[in-house]
Chains A and B, each alone.
Chain A
């Protein structure tokens, strides 16, 4: 967005608030613009949503454990399975990715923060506001119940699942003295995702600018860690995919709330347009969910194989290829719609093509591990788990590309098996690997290995118990999205197995959360570089100071930290040297410091930490970090308030519109007029 110029010396008295300056304490979390703290906020919030989505999954599995399940009513089931999908996709996996992006991106490219720190805070608060908004529907007539895909005309149906009155919600109910039109559930869907989309769009712009423009000296594009490449690709996917779903959601809202006719076949609209728009976004979205995990695994495997990443260039370019081809496969979600043989064949082919770059990555990961000195730590186990589980999911994905085969599987549990293997076996395993791997960087303490390994094995077993039977159920014809099924179809046994597996997963996640909590206080001290890692985020202290580095590192190699620790002598041998021991090292390296203990978790001091006294001999810069701000929070929470204007009838609706618009505009104006760094804070960092 265009912002008016912000002169640091401009008067700060114009703000109605006193500028928040505290950088510690509970209140400071609401105003922080530090990418690391925002990353932690993302992680904690996303974990909360992940647990909520998980509980919903357990309810679904309880309902389906036996034929004629009575745990949920049909209406409740529809809400729960819709919210499970929405929560996991938009409020758990995507923000978990954002958590890692936020925390690590500046550290990995040697920057002090992202390009637009306040916009970053805005993204977080908008995401949280969207999640709270969509869940507030529980109190306002029920949660969205049209599936996460929101197919019209089901998404246009009112609240009563048996009263299939297509068209506009006309009946009203009274909630807290205000009338709310019934059938608003999918309005929550359209507006909630709309708001979440704003957060993704803002992050996408922010990350693209940060990666292209904020790299440390020497950090060329082809020296960037693969994870950073994946962030770049994901950001471009979000940049171009979010407006597509944005328009589709507006059209849906116009249909449900204002009587428009985009998707209502009774009025000449076409539900297939919704499907096109949704999957135009939805397929890139799949890669938005999985590529961060691919990036994480590409960081972890080399570290614990003690080898450089095999085929860095191939992995980067196959990631880019996925980003491009990912735009040309959307209609494989619509093979049964009747697009005609030409379209079906073309999209079947493009879908098979996209397996190629994915396969390249798999081979590269195996090549990285091949002949390496493997250390089977928890992050490594989860990474290997991803490679194995994702391969299964990828293979069942290729079977979907075969159109006649697809017609057999469409809308069966086989599809459910496929996408859980790629999104749980892929994305969640990868994100959990990342959590174990970078937890010591964020907290200064290692997570408990014993609990971590227990978590891995419980989750691996539970995951396969849950989702492998879905393949069989699907091939036996069990349709997905059904609230219950009758006895006698031969589905009973595998459904029960799947339900048992779901509870095993829940146990694993519980172990994970316990580990996260207890390691915060009781974990072993990590030191800056506990894993003997390769990339520069391990160069600074754990946790890093607010400004990340006193001196930004000069990057001379892809595995910069590794090269510093083990300067190459000859072709293959690498000799570990004390820091600065090689005469070839220049620049920001200070001589005379100790080497870390090899490969142990007990290393207390990296040779290049910013606490290194050697730095005092070099040039020290005063660092002015952006000051905290209230405005991102204010502007963000204006959005859901304005959105309630659509939900509530007039005149209450107008009040919501007005208050929401006032908060958004006021927040933006305050933001623009406020200097990024408060003048009075300039002396704070020395």
Chain B
């Protein structure tokens, strides 16, 4: 134990004092988290559009023939928040032409997304048409103003249009019927039943990435660089066994990962991530720690020199990082990419960790999420035991 702790202390201290090492293993994941987190914070959040309703209708006011007020009411209902849902619409309404002017101006300035105008004789017109009155009057359509080339404006238009169409349909269907049914309109919220948060998705992905980075670069450095610089030879002529060094080195990297994990978690939560840290989560985190470490052993055994080792580590790092779905979901990638994605361990580790931390249900089975990383770890460990050379 004395030997292991001696090596552990020396390597850990060296890591702590190495500016570049600290940057890549500790600071970089946090920076990545903050950058990606702030760029894509709105991904998966429900949208809501702002609409002004100008109700100029002045006939049949207050009566049950006030069709305009039904439309306004329906739209109002859509702007009410229920449960934890974000309302689809934010509505301001008015009746004056001054309000109309103000609304159009706001639309131009991007402050609102659409303006719906109900004309003055709307109720009269609808009433006449419904009862097939041979009343000669010109069409008084509802007008919707939108902004050109604006996505949110298009969304606002679709919503308003769908409400108005629903009324149209009812009017036509029931023309001649005395009872006018107010259409029931459901929320068309973009939120799924279990709320998806990109930030939670990202934090768990970054945790897997951070572990992988330490395993790939930390272990490669402790084995290949130290071997190449003959530091290992110097240590092994002292009364210490290679097993002691391996253990001390592994512990030093694991400790680094624990610090890393804590830091990412703190920053992630500060940014608003909500993660579950129950027993399952902790067990899965331990599994992730243990199964990523052999990646470094493999690189150290496969590469002949420290240079080729760091190139190989970078290659694995990129492959596992981007195809492992650590930062972005990989559901919509081409088949070939998906085939690779579903053969690498980080995909399963990320899925498993997300499920364990309550971020999102895993698209792969829990057994695979354990089995595949363990299989990788076993194969890489066996390869390393067979092919690693302490001396070059």
Q: Do A and B bind?
A: no
Show the binding face of B for A, using Cβ within 8 Å: none
